Structures are given as structure tokens and as C-alpha cells.
Chain A
Amino acid sequence: MSETTDIDMLRYCRSQTGRHIMLLVRSPSEVINPLLFFLLVIILFPLGLGPDREQLSVLAPGILWVVALLANLMICMRLFVDDFEDGSLEQLAMARVPLAIAVLPQLVASWLASGLLLSLVSPLFGLMLGLSMDVTPVLVASLLMGTAIMLLLGAVGSALTVGVQRGGMLLALLVLPLYVPVLIAGTRALNEALYGGDPYVALALLGAGVTGGLILAPLAIAAGLRVSLEL
């Protein structure tokens, strides 16, 4: 019997990433809904707070980050549900690839469809909240990293709760406390950039979070899925 080589694993991950991207393209609502949610909330805030640009731009970093966090939570609630119900997760566990690696393709595809997309359109949303265009690079960079961390953390919670009927609330309780440091670092980076400070400390923290998350989260996700699948 031939051994599983790294090349096999790479090819497997590539084909699975393709599968997940195809699935997201075929059901665009899963991609568009979080973005639409983001847009709606951003539209509502100026209506509720009044059109004072000064006030809005003070609140903008917090608003953008909180909405990004909630949109991310929406994505995490759906993350493994379909695959759990139709037996795909079982088959994933049957693949002769460590489960921690086999879950990576889905995470990559989900992040491309959520975090990357959200980060790229965020300058537009920032503009709607009167955020200065000067901080756009910091906004995009912080969201790119922040959404990745939140997706990784959310996936751990999602893996643990996928077997629970209506586990959405449980998931929120599990992962929201973990999201708080990300939220603080993200808004901190933006505020520093807005008021002439140094945003790089907070950005570096987020970068460290992504690195650590990429190494540790897949192991936790695999362990969580094993619990949910009763492996």
C-alpha cells in the first residue's frame, strides 16, 4: 500500500478548496448575506445617530469592527452544518489525510468568500460613516487579519457545536469572549491611525494572532469535529 505523500496531500487540499469555492459560487446567498447584513447595519447607524460627520467618524472604527465581528459569527454558524448533515464530514474523516489538514481547504474558501471580500469593500463602508480615507490601508489590513483570526476561532466553536441542535447561541457564547481581544486590537489600530498614533503595534498583534491561529486552530478544529462526529 502506497504511503500518503505531501504531494498527495497538497493535491487533495487543492481539489477540496476548489470544491468549497464551487459550492460557495453555486449558493451565492451564503456569500452575499453577511455582506448585505454589514451594509444594512452601516446604513442604519447614520440614520440612528444623526448626520453629524464628526460624531460618526469618532464611532466608525467601533461600528465597523463590531459589525464585522457579527457578520463573521453568522458565517461560523453555517460553517460545518451542511457538511455534517450530508455526510461530507464523515467522508473527510475517512480520507487518509490528518483531519487538521483536511479542514484547511474549507477554512481557506470561507475566508476568501467572507473575510477577504468584507475587507476589500470595507473602505466603502468606512466612507459611509465619514471615516477619513487616510486610514483605509490600516482599516483593510486590520480587517484582513482580524477576520482570519475570528474565522479560525469561530471554526473551533463551530466544530464543537455542529452536532448540537440549534447550537447557534451556544456557539456565540463560546466564541464571543475569544473575539474580544481581536476587537480591541482592531479598533485600537484604527483609532491610533485616526489620531496620529502608531497603529503598527496593534497590527503586529493581529498578525501574531493569525500566525498562532493558523498553527493551533486546525488542531482544535479537528479535535472538535472528532467530538461532534463521535469518532
Chain B
Amino acid sequence: MTTSLLEARDLSIHKGLRQLLKGVNLRVESGDIWQLAGSNGIGKTSLLRSFARLASIEVYGDLSRCDDVLYSGHSAALKGALSPRQNLKYHPSGLCIPSDSEIDDALASVGLSGYENALTARLSAGQKRRVALARLFLPTGRLWLLDEPFTALDVAGVEVLEQRFKAHAHAGGAVVFTSHQSADLGDRLNVLDLEQFRGE
């Protein structure tokens, strides 16, 4: 029994006077992994943000989705002055506050054990990215909307993330992400090429 976590019908997105995308139809069911693909500037991020309901002013069409959503954008909402542990514990999106052991496990999963109490400002770009992605290893939303999750990650990091995507989909969640690189996600992966929806 699959349930629909997100359903977009005839969605069009405008930026200023320009129509970015039109007629986007997408149904994301539990267990699905969707990659939004397309050239730079076609509107991948805008579409993802509209799914997150972070840009509804210029979005037209029907959109229904579940409430239990995790969105991770280009800016990771990390505070340099806090440690990775504090950043995860006091994350502004977090309604359920994870315990310290859950956070340490999550940080260990992304290969950051030993950095729990370091200053986030001192970490490298890739390590900061990993802190942001550690949120995916905490008990969080069913529907993940991830903007370019693979940027700044090394090969091992990408692999860890791919495994996590599969596990999440297997557990009944769903992932929608934007990326330029092709990910090794098995037969669960669906690619939505946005070129076909290019607006005029």
C-alpha cells in the first residue's frame, strides 16, 4: 500500500515576468526517490521550494503534500558560532528535539565523530555540508526535499548519502532532490527532466 506524499498537478512557476516552468505533474509516493534534472536556471530550486511551500507567491496550480517535510536548501542554516551538536539540537526547523546520543550517532554516520563539539565555523565546506546532511540521520520528516545534496561531498560522502536515501525510501519515506550528477540509487530512482516543462 503506497500513499501519496506529494502531488503536483499542472504546476507553473513564474519568476518576475518570466515563466520558468509550466504544466509540471508529479506524484511522489512513499518509497519513491525523485531526481529533478535540467540545465542551470531552468527552475529546479524554484520547483523544490514550491514543493516546500517556501515560494507560493508565483506558483500556480494544485499542490498537496504531507506536513512532515524536511527541506534542506543551498544555505544550510548552520551557525558558525555553535558546535555541530548544538546546530543539530537547536535546529530552527526541529519540532522534535533529538537526544545527544541520537545526534552523536548521526554525526558519526556522516563521518564527523570527534567533531561534535568543534566550532562549526572552523570546519571545511564539505564538513559543514556533512553537518547539514546529518539531519537526515535523525528522526525527521517523511518527505525530504533536498537542494543539491551532493555538492561539496567526496566520493565516500556521496555513497553514504545514497545508502541513506535508499534506507529512507525503504522505510516508507520519499526523497525529492536536485542534482546534476547521476546518483547510484538503484531502481527506486525516477528522474524528472524539467526540460519538457520549460515555460515560454
In the complex, A170 has a CB within 8 A of chain B? no
What is the distance, in angstroms, from A89's C-beta to the closest C-beta of chain B? 8
Do A23 and B81 contact each other (CB < 8 Å), given the known contacts A15-B94, A231-B54? yes
Do A94 and B71 contact each other (CB < 8 Å), given the known contacts A4-B95, A22-B90, A88-B92? yes
What is the distance, in angstroms, from B133's C-beta to the closest C-beta of chain A? 14
A158→B64 CA distance, assembly (Å): 32
Task: Please give the residue numbers on chain B whose beta carbons come within 8 Å of chain A beta carbons, in ascending order.
Answer: 52-57, 66-71, 73-79, 81-82, 86, 89-97
Interface centre among B55, B73, B81 (most CB of A within 10 A): B81
What is the distance, in angstroms, from A225's C-beta to the closest C-beta of chain B? 12
Do A87 and B94 contact each other (CB < 8 Å), given the known contacts A15-B89, A229-B54, A231-B53? no
Q: A-B pairs with the 8 shortest C-beta distances?
A: A87-B75, A19-B90, A26-B81, A91-B93, A87-B77, A91-B92, A88-B77, A91-B77
Interface residues of B, dominant DSSP: loop
A97→B92 CA distance, assembly (Å): 10
What is the distance, in angstroms, from B134's C-beta to the closest C-beta of chain A? 14
Instruction: Let me know if B97 and A90 touch, CB within 8 A.
Output: no
Do A11 and B92 contact each other (CB < 8 Å), given the known contacts A86-B75, A231-B54? no
Chain A contacts of B66 at CB under 8 A? 1
Instruction: Let me know if B92 and A16 touch, CB within 8 A.
Output: yes
A95→B71 CA distance, assembly (Å): 10
What is the distance, in angstroms, from B96's C-beta to the closest C-beta of chain A? 8
Instruction: Let me know if A1 and B67 touch, CB within 8 A.
Output: yes
Chain A contacts of B75 at CB under 8 A? 85-87, 90
In the complex, A51 has a CB within 8 A of chain B? no
Using CB atoms, name the residue of chain A closest to B87: A19
CB < 8 Å: which of A18, A85, A95 contacts B95?
Answer: A95
Chain A contacts of B69 at CB under 8 A? 94
Chain A contacts of B57 at CB under 8 A? 230-231
In the complex, A198 has a CB within 8 A of chain B? no
Interface centre among B67, B69, B75, B76 (most CB of A within 10 A): B75
What is the distance, in angstroms, from B118's C-beta to the closest C-beta of chain A? 14
Chain B contacts of A104 at CB under 8 A? none
Chain B contacts of A23 at CB under 8 A? 79, 81-82
In the complex, A96 has a CB within 8 A of chain B? yes
CB < 8 Å: which of B54, B55, B76, B81 contacts A94?
Answer: B54
